[in-house]
Structure 1
Amino acid sequence: MPPTIVTERSENTITETSDDNISDSLVVPFIAGTVELDGIIDEAVWEEATKVPLTFVTRPFENTTPPVLTTARIFENGESIYIAFTAQDDDPSQLRALFRDRDNVWDNDLVGIKIDTFGDSRLSYQFFVNPRGIQSDAIENQMTLSESDSWNAIWDAQAQITQDGYTVEIALPFRIMNFLDSDGPKRWRAEFVRFYPRENNLRISNRPVDRNNACGLCQMGDMEGFATAKQGQNLSITPYAVAGYARNREPVPSQDATDWRYQDNQEIGVDVNWGITSDMLLQATVNPDFSQVEADAGQLGINNPFALFFPEQRPFFLENADFFSTQYDLVYTRNIGAPDIGTKLTGRVNNHTFGILAANDESTTFLVPGNLGSSVARLNEESTNIAARYRYDISDDLSVGAIITGRHSEDYHNIVTGLDSRYQITPSDTLRVQVLRSQTQYPQTLFSDFCSNDCSADEDINEITLRTRESDTFSGSTYKIDYRHEVRDWYFYANRTSTQADFRADLGFESTVDRHKSVLGGGYIWWNENEWWNRFEFGGDWDITHNDDGELIEREMQAQVELNAAYQSYFNFQWVKRDTVGLRHNGASLTIDGNTTRFTEEQFSFYFEAQPSRTLYFENFARIGDRIDLRNDRLGDQVLLEPSITLNLGQHLEASLSHEYNRIDVNDKMLFTANLSDLRLSYQFSAEQFIRVALVYADIKRNTDNYLMRVDARDRSLGTQVVYSYMINPLSRLFIGYGDSAFADDENPGLLRTEQAVFMKFSYAWLY
């Protein structure tokens, strides 16, 4: 049980006397004044603010007494919410307070607030600040059980490190949040949180946690006030300019090749964000530059039959992306590569939540899924892309929704429609259901892009060739049912995903079709608060997958143990045994039985991470065991290692290095050895500016004598990027950068630079 808590009583203090007397309501006073944000809590207005003590450690322990004192203060003046934190520390020299870019300090000491402006436990805004004044904001979505720090709002905060810890002042304009713009007092929900990373990363809150309740947002406390709160005009206009110069050439077996193709790019455009009402946002972009500033993390695709996933990084698509989230990934905006115009309308009115996205694209890229692999199709046709999402919250426990996505070009279209529902049966039991239907038409010659030769013989044809050989419009369906029971000490889940062969979700990232999978799983959790470890879990699941014809594709058993311990460490050991299939013998047939070889893979994997100090973070994933050689349809032995280390060298410099080592042996001989190294160096001069260097190097060596077909003995690639950034706010930034890439193979043994580019991008937001 939580300990008895006694706090100093004053007129505006939330006072707790025991765990049975937790105040359910916090009154936020209206005070006609402002605060000069400097991180020093010395204005008289703070004495009139409501004081909130943070008296519970809610993770990794269960409502224990914090080792440090933390007090929050809060008031509002009709335009903004003002919050101050006094975060005491017995040894301020141990503060993890680094200069980093916005949203990159989640492992630091932090204080902040979570706010549910509709009070229905569907979504919360998160605002956190580290002792250097670096901001992090995010949106937590209870519907999809996800948190996204890709959302960025314009708000103010300052911090000061003191002899007793640190202090923070925050100003949150009402215009950055959606809420019901009604007259009179409003009832929202909130939680005040401090993260205290030492031997364990303690989450300290003003609210206790009930681990028998699977809904985290449901446990936030009520917050009353804001009678005169209005969002105002809520209009931002952000013009930007882009200038770039690039050149590229094809890899040729000569280091003296000079056949460069040159391209320069000078563009101007504008983004407009308009809060039509307090709960409806319209975004538009004209002549946008959707170029990506940050380099993607390196990935190896060798011996992987499915297309690689890269996360979205472009601001227009990231803003309010959670409005389109469902159990399926139906809106993967990396598919929209180079639009001329885009618009997005998102909002929430009473119990109705909606989002509409529309953008054109100068070409059309989409995923072609299968049951044993997937590939990417590209059409040199301009396309129109739309997505619309709607949800109705019948009650706090029951929601129903609908979604439609569409893509259309001259010889191609794909339309997806569907319904979904979430039902919180009890605080511990959740049921999610979704049903989708698609209609698709491919260009009649699309299939020829995936033939290994000229499609004239069976050996030229593969699964993707057959999946795209459609002369008429075709339709397919899919559904997903997911049930979860989660209480303090154990959990159980069961789900079924059933996808027909002709289902397509081309605006999304759904890489499998013709698969019907059932899963049963569960686990037990032990908790501890007095030893070197604090959480131990044993769990596992069983699943089975068939195709449309009922042929077995895969049967798998999995067991794992997890341990959370001192030094912010986490261990995961997993055993997997699966009965699965390899390549099709006859690529001209989609049959599984009699057309594939069945293999049994047994694998052991281990993951470990720790952050023993503010200087060092490291992790490693290792897997050993059986792995199918997907080039030659044989069972091999795999060793996979993925170590990563991050060093915080002082307060300003961060160096991170991740590596992937992947080796498969067949018949006691090496088949291939693949190495990928990703080095990132970042120097943060201040909260506003940084310079960052990225180097990504891949090296794949193959034993050509152990392959049944001709392959290159070695492939190498090197990508380099240097970026300087100065930020006034999330919408007003300057980027200057350089990037290049080089490639080598058997015909070109030296790394030949094939692409080079320099660019500058500047944007500035006017707020009204």
Structure 2
Amino acid sequence: MPVLRSSCIFATALVLFTVGSQAAYANTTPIPEGQLNIPYASQTITIDGEIDDQAWQDALEVSLNIVNDPWENQPSPVQTRAKLIENGEYIYIAFIAGDPEPENIMGYLTDRDSSWHGDLVGIKLDTFNNRRLNYKFFVNPFGVQHDGITNELTGQSNNLWDGFWQSYGKKTADGFQVEMAIPYSTLNFKPGTDIKTWAIELVRLYPRDERLRISHIPLDRDNACWICQMPEITGFQQAKMGSNIKLTPSLVASQESSRDIFTPGSDWQQEDDVDAGLSLSWGLSADTQLDATINPDFSNVETDSAQLTANKNFSLFYDEKRAFFLENADYFASNYNLVHTRNISDPDYGVKLTGRDNNHSYGVFIANDTQTSYIKPGNLSSSLVVSDKDSHAAAISYRYEQSEDLTFGVTSTLRLNEDYHNALVSMDSKYRITDSNTLIAQVMHSDTRDESEDVGIVLLSNQEEDKGDDQAFKLALEHDSEFWQLGVRHQQIGKGFRADLGYMTRADFKESQLEAKRLFYGTGDSVWTEANISSEWTIRHNEQDEFISRELITELQILGPYLSEIDLEYQQATKTGLRFNSADSRILGNSEQFDEQKLKFYGEFQPTPGIFAGLGYQFGDQIDYNNNRLGEISKITTYLQIHASDHLYFDFYQNYIKLEADKAEVYTENLLDLRISYQFDVKSALKLSLVYSDIERNPANNPGLGDDYLGTNKSLSSQLIYSYKLNPQSVFYLGYSDNSAQDNSLDRLERRQKTFFCKVSYSWMP
């Protein structure tokens, strides 16, 4: 009966949602689209930022004169011109960006993809013209490259993808100008000698008092799909892939020393290692690509961003940064993160095939991992399982695009070793009912068998029994228009459902969610630019209808002068703590419920072009999961980014959190992350990173923890690295890193690991 009642409520909400959102859609007006034609020239253009080659005289010239965000298609306050031409091997784009106050240009020498919030000009290309994916290539005033792939299906932009292309930028007396050369070999498109029609948008990002998005087209705010509104450009008849084979040999040499600092008199143990690897990228055709790698260096050269770890009952998320997995990763995307390749820790080989044929796209990869690691999900907590046994990982994905409005996808993953396997199959669909309304559905089934006696290291306790086979599904209706963003969602994840190649930390739960956001836009004389107020209500039960949590989050956000943002958020929730008996999967009678109220404040602004500052403060109730009680939390977060010059950059992040319960301190955690970078030019840089963590747990007020976890727990990681990058895969790294730690047995930080390393790789295209 409870299941029937909740289903009826959800169905009623869907009907009301659809009626209201269709009324909003009835007032929309289609935006006309203009078609462009790109000229062909046989000449090669020198990319030096001068825009004086003869070929530019015959280029298509387009004016970017419309601000489509946050202003609603208003005239641009600055002049921007773009020139486009192609020669069968490259698409050439030049931008002349005028600025009445060039001293306020936010452009510096930085690492690739690291200044998205500064001055940028660029191009977006949908080379299949199916309004599903688009490449984006942006350049700042110094020629620093920013690129990525935007996926309309998920609404996400993968800025970690790196293409192979050329750029050059320079500041001028009245602004800046850039040149770009994008080779066809870095794009996927339908081959042939016929005239091709692609979707295109030319964009300038202009951050001053407001962050203006300037384009050559208007955008309809009542159409949630921006890529669907991109106009078409024709031509590219001579487009050819050029060299379709790319070989990237790599060599990594390291000297690592370590010692057990908690054992008195322990000596340093040194290990020298030299590894050679080879990666292959082979364009079997213009729209089919084979990637393979043998003994790759899959280590992350630069350290991950620091995260708080105390009092966390679900596994942390880390971005994928490795080139092999990032290449065409969007072919495996769906509404859930079913292919999170950071779970593949240390593979010794990998093979991937991706391709597209008209309305069909597919991807498949196989990798052999020298470890086995996966997230074991639960409804109140998750655990990270790590084993030293070799394992195989595989994923296959297929998508059919019936039209611009309707797509169907199938994804299957497999993770296995000699004692264990997890297999998953998923079917998903996305249907754009109108420009503003979208229906999303996904169903999944998994099969898990684990016969190993030793599953390795289990991080975060979660002793819920495995069910073996189980299902999951999600259904959502989204409305996104000029003044309203609404969402009605329901999902159910079975108790035994596992996605061991993905990032899904919860299982055995049913969740219903309602979300409403009202947007407001400032006028020409308003102090603020844009504002919104939103509310989100979520309720969760397990499959036996035992209560897990209920949350109501209300947020006010205001964007104002000096690129400022103010967020005020209030949370009210009833949550279930961890189980009294972790071996018993029941919640009712085996746990306690707690009422939480929290208030969060966050503010940021940019007082000068080279300084960004942010401050967040949170206080209120917080469950102390280790001791299963309600406490009071205080959390302070600070950000400070300084461009001291065109070359020197400081990035500081600090997170301090304190939890009290029963009128005494439970723990404090202080996290400091400092990055200093000196960029010699767009190719070379020297970087220093320092990450410090200090967790102090009060032994007198932590009855639920053993002595090993109490008292002092400090760590300090440092890294100094010189990098030289010809392109994303032709690189040279020389660096040093170390790690120090301290606990109750030590009176200071002691170094326990130090590494000298060198990496060389070169991408060769015969």
TM (norm. structure 2) is 0.94
C-alpha distance after superposition, 1:665-716 (max 9, x if no partner): 1122111111011111111000010011111111111221112144421111
What is the aligned partner in structure 2 of residue 454 from structure 1?
Answer: none
Alignment identity in percent?
38
Please report how far the alpha carbon of residue 209 of structure 1 lies from its aligned counterpart in structure 2 after TM superposition: 1.1
Please report how far the alpha carbon of residue 450 of structure 1 lies from its aligned counterpart in structure 2 after TM superposition: 5.4
C-alpha contact (below 8 Å) 1:111/1:193 kept by paired residues:
yes
Residue 705 of structure 1: SS of its match in structure 2?
helix
**1: CA distance, partners of 2:702 / 2:387:** 33
Call closer, same or farther: CA 1:234–1:374 in 2, change over 3 Å.
same
Residue 313 of structure 2: SS of its match in structure 1?
coil
Alignment partner for residue 232 of structure 1, among 242, 247, 271? Answer: 242
Aligned pairs for 1:447-466 (under 5 A) are 464-466=462-464
**2: CA distance, partners of 1:23 / 1:542:** 39
C-alpha contact (below 8 Å) 2:386/2:456 kept by paired residues:
no
**2: CA distance, partners of 1:269 / 1:20:** 53
**1: CA distance, partners of 2:74 / 2:437:** 26
Please report how far the alpha carbon of residue 444 of structure 1 lies from its aligned counterpart in structure 2 after TM superposition: 4.3
Please report how far the alpha carbon of residue 448 of structure 1 lies from its aligned counterpart in structure 2 after TM superposition: 9.0
What is the aligned partner in structure 2 of residue 564 from structure 1?
Answer: 559
Partner AA of 2:763 in structure 1 = A
Alignment partner for residue 696 of structure 1, among 685, 691, 695? Answer: 691
**1: CA distance, partners of 2:112 / 2:37:** 31
Please report how far the alpha carbon of residue 20 of structure 1 lies from its aligned counterpart in structure 2 after TM superposition: 9.7
| Residues 1:603 and 2:598 aligned together | yes
| Residues 1:313 and 2:321 aligned together | yes
* Runs of 4+ residues deviating >6 angstroms: none
**2: CA distance, partners of 1:392 / 1:760:** 44
What is the aligned partner in structure 1 of residue 44 from structure 2?
Answer: 34
What is the aligned partner in structure 2 of residue 156 from structure 1?
Answer: 166
| Residues 1:332 and 2:340 aligned together | yes
Partner AA of 1:278 in structure 2 = A
Residue 607 of structure 2: SS of its match in structure 1?
coil
| Residues 1:651 and 2:660 aligned together | no
Please report how far the alpha carbon of residue 151 of structure 1 lies from its aligned counterpart in structure 2 after TM superposition: 1.2
**2: CA distance, partners of 1:767 / 1:666:** 62
C-alpha distance after superposition, 1:231-275 (max 9, x if no partner): 134211111111001122334153x431x3322210111111111
Please report how far the alpha carbon of residue 162 of structure 1 lies from its aligned counterpart in structure 2 after TM superposition: 1.5
Please report how far the alpha carbon of residue 766 of structure 1 lies from its aligned counterpart in structure 2 after TM superposition: 1.1
What is the aligned partner in structure 2 of residue 492 from structure 1?
Answer: 486
Please report how far the alpha carbon of residue 43 of structure 1 lies from its aligned counterpart in structure 2 after TM superposition: 2.5
Please report how far the alpha carbon of residue 446 of structure 1 lies from its aligned counterpart in structure 2 after TM superposition: 4.2
Residue 767 of structure 1: SS of its match in structure 2?
coil
What is the aligned partner in structure 2 of residue 745 from structure 1?
Answer: 743
What is the aligned partner in structure 2 of residue 549 from structure 1?
Answer: 544
Call closer, same or farther: CA 1:20–1:497 in 2, change over 3 Å.
closer
Partner AA of 1:588 in structure 2 = A
Partner AA of 1:542 in structure 2 = W
C-alpha distance after superposition, 1:507-541 (max 9, x if no partner): 11111101110001112111113212111111102
What is the aligned partner in structure 1 of residue 266 from structure 2?
Answer: 257
Cα RMSD (Å) = 1.7
Please report how far the alpha carbon of residue 380 of structure 1 lies from its aligned counterpart in structure 2 after TM superposition: 2.2
Structure 1 gaps, min length 5: 1-18, 452-461
C-alpha contact (below 8 Å) 2:462/2:582 kept by paired residues:
no
| Residues 1:381 and 2:389 aligned together | yes
C-alpha contact (below 8 Å) 2:133/2:150 kept by paired residues:
yes
| Residues 1:425 and 2:433 aligned together | yes
Aligned pairs for 1:273-352 (under 5 A) are 273-352=281-360
Please report how far the alpha carbon of residue 312 of structure 1 lies from its aligned counterpart in structure 2 after TM superposition: 1.4
What is the aligned partner in structure 1 of residue 629 from structure 2?
Answer: 634
Please report how far the alpha carbon of residue 614 of structure 1 lies from its aligned counterpart in structure 2 after TM superposition: 1.8
Partner AA of 2:135 in structure 1 = Y
Aligned pairs for 1:66-465 (under 5 A) are 66-254=76-264, 256-258=265-267, 260-446=268-454, 464-465=462-463
Partner AA of 1:604 in structure 2 = L
What is the aligned partner in structure 2 of residue 508 from structure 1?
Answer: 502
Partner AA of 1:159 in structure 2 = G
**2: CA distance, partners of 1:467 / 1:566:** 54
Moved more, 682-691 or 163-172: 163-172
Number of equivalences: 734
**2: CA distance, partners of 1:257 / 1:32:** 68
Partner AA of 1:420 in structure 2 = D
C-alpha contact (below 8 Å) 2:465/2:585 kept by paired residues:
no
**2: CA distance, partners of 1:251 / 1:306:** 29
C-alpha contact (below 8 Å) 1:413/1:442 kept by paired residues:
yes
C-alpha contact (below 8 Å) 1:253/1:747 kept by paired residues:
no
| Residues 1:522 and 2:531 aligned together | no
Partner AA of 2:472 in structure 1 = T
Alignment partner for residue 587 of structure 2, among 583, 588, 592? Answer: 592
Call closer, same or farther: CA 1:614–1:584 in 2, change over 3 Å.
same
What is the aligned partner in structure 1 of residue 25 from structure 2?
Answer: none
Partner AA of 1:693 in structure 2 = L
Structure 2 gaps, min length 5: 1-28
TM (norm. structure 1) is 0.93
C-alpha distance after superposition, 1:186-228 (max 9, x if no partner): 1111001111111111111001111000001011111011112
Partner AA of 1:509 in structure 2 = Y
Partner AA of 1:370 in structure 2 = G
Please report how far the alpha carbon of residue 301 of structure 1 lies from its aligned counterpart in structure 2 after TM superposition: 1.1
C-alpha contact (below 8 Å) 2:580/2:591 kept by paired residues:
yes
**2: CA distance, partners of 1:87 / 1:436:** 49
C-alpha distance after superposition, 1:538-595 (max 9, x if no partner): 1102111000111011111111111111111112111111111112122221111111
Residue 466 of structure 1: SS of its match in structure 2?
coil
Partner AA of 2:416 in structure 1 = H
**2: CA distance, partners of 1:127 / 1:140:** 11
**1: CA distance, partners of 2:240 / 2:246:** 17
Residue 309 of structure 2: SS of its match in structure 1?
coil
**1: CA distance, partners of 2:333 / 2:258:** 37
Call closer, same or farther: CA 1:537–1:21 in 2, change over 3 Å.
closer
C-alpha contact (below 8 Å) 1:198/1:613 kept by paired residues:
no
Residue 583 of structure 1: SS of its match in structure 2?
coil
**2: CA distance, partners of 1:218 / 1:526:** 24
Residue 612 of structure 1: SS of its match in structure 2?
strand
Please report how far the alpha carbon of residue 613 of structure 1 lies from its aligned counterpart in structure 2 after TM superposition: 2.0
Alignment partner for residue 480 of structure 1, among 474, 478, 490? Answer: 474
**1: CA distance, partners of 2:30 / 2:454:** 66
**2: CA distance, partners of 1:342 / 1:442:** 24
Aligned pairs for 1:8-27 (under 5 A) are 24-27=34-37
Call closer, same or farther: CA 1:45–1:232 in 2, change over 3 Å.
closer
Partner AA of 1:758 in structure 2 = F
Please report how far the alpha carbon of residue 664 of structure 1 lies from its aligned counterpart in structure 2 after TM superposition: 0.7
Call closer, same or farther: CA 1:79–1:560 in 2, change over 3 Å.
same
Moved more, 400-409 or 376-385: 376-385
What is the aligned partner in structure 2 of residue 46 from structure 1?
Answer: 56
